Amino acid sequence: MRSTVSNGADFARTRVFKKMIRIYPREDVCIGCRLCEIHCIVQHSKSRNIIKAFKSERRPRKRVEVEEEGHVSFALQCRHCEEAPCVTACLSGAMSKDPKTGAVNNDPERCIGCWTCILVCPYGAIHRVEDGHVAGKCDLCPDREVPACVANCPNEALVMEEV
């Protein structure tokens, strides 16, 4: 059964049981404010303090990107594909699909920074992150009940669904 959780939920708690979740954008109500990007950066920062993350620490790269043209916009992050091209293409086996959650994750210890995943991703959802030596992407905020982008969208244009 599918259940939809919007940002009204208590996002401070962590996902105790490993659930299969996916994030879907709603283009009709995305207002292009980019607060999802901002809170993604905070979530992946060292201190998780918004002011420190932006001003005094090394700023992590955002894992979600708002695509915008005219009044149409939507936030795009890794789709965690069923048949993920990045997993198939990864030379070192760093990119893998978690059999329990279905999440596609990159192991920075094994990533050799060859950028093959970046080349094959059909969504452009993988980037060189912080130190520039490894690839990074949306990790579905595993230690949050609701991912930061979903929880902080002011217009509920990002929806988390359990699958």
Partner 1 sequence: MKSYLLPEFVIDRDDFRCIRCEVCVRQCANDVHWYDEEDDACYLDETKCVGCQRCATLCPTSALTVRRNPASNPDNANWTMDVLMNIYKQAETGGVLLTGMGCDRDYPIYWDRMVLDASQVTNPSIDPLREPMELRTYLGAKPDALEIKGEGANQRVKTRMAPQLKLEIPVMFSAISYGAVSFNTCESLARAATEAGTYWNTGEGGLHSKLYKYKDHTICQVASGRFGVHADYLEAAAALEIKIGQGAKPGIGGHLPGEKVSAEISRTRMIPKGTDALSPAPHHDIYSIEDLSQLIYALKEASHWVKPVSVKIAAVHNSAAIASGIVRAGADIVVLDGIRGGTGAAPTMIRDNVGIPIELALAAADTRLRAEGIRNRASVVVAGGIRSSADVVKAIALGADACYIGTAALVGMGCHVCQKCYTGKCNWGIATQDPYLAKRLNPDIGARRLTNLLRGWSHEIQEMLGGMGINAIESLRGNRQRLRGVGLSREELDILGIKHAGE
Q: Name the one residue in this structure whose structure tokens are 């244009």.
A: 157
Is the Cβ of residue 29 or residue 118 nearer to partner 1 in the bound state? 29
Residue ranges in 63-82 that form contacts with partner 1 under rule CB under 8 A = 70-71
Nearest Cα neighbor of 25 from 83, 82, 77 is 77
158-162 β-sheet, strand order: 3-5, 158-162, 21-25
Is the Cβ of residue 7 or residue 105 nearer to partner 1 in the bound state? 7
Closest separation in Å from C-beta 94 to partner 1: 31
Is 59 exposed, middle or buried, given 0-12, 13-18 or 19+ CB atoms closer than 10 A? middle
The radius of gyration computed from the CA coordinates of the chain, to the nearest angstrom, equals: 15
Is the Cβ of residue 134 or residue 158 nearer to partner 1 in the bound state? 158
x/- binding map, residues 115-134, to partner 1, per CB under 8 A? --------------------
Query: Pairing between strand 158-162 and 3-5?
Result: antiparallel
- State the DSSP code for 93: S
Closest separation in Å from C-beta 64 to partner 1: 14
Residue of 9, 119, 131, 154 interacting with partner 1 (CB under 8 A): 154
Contacting residues toward partner 1, per CB under 8 A: 28-35, 38-39, 50-51, 53-55, 70-71, 152, 154-157
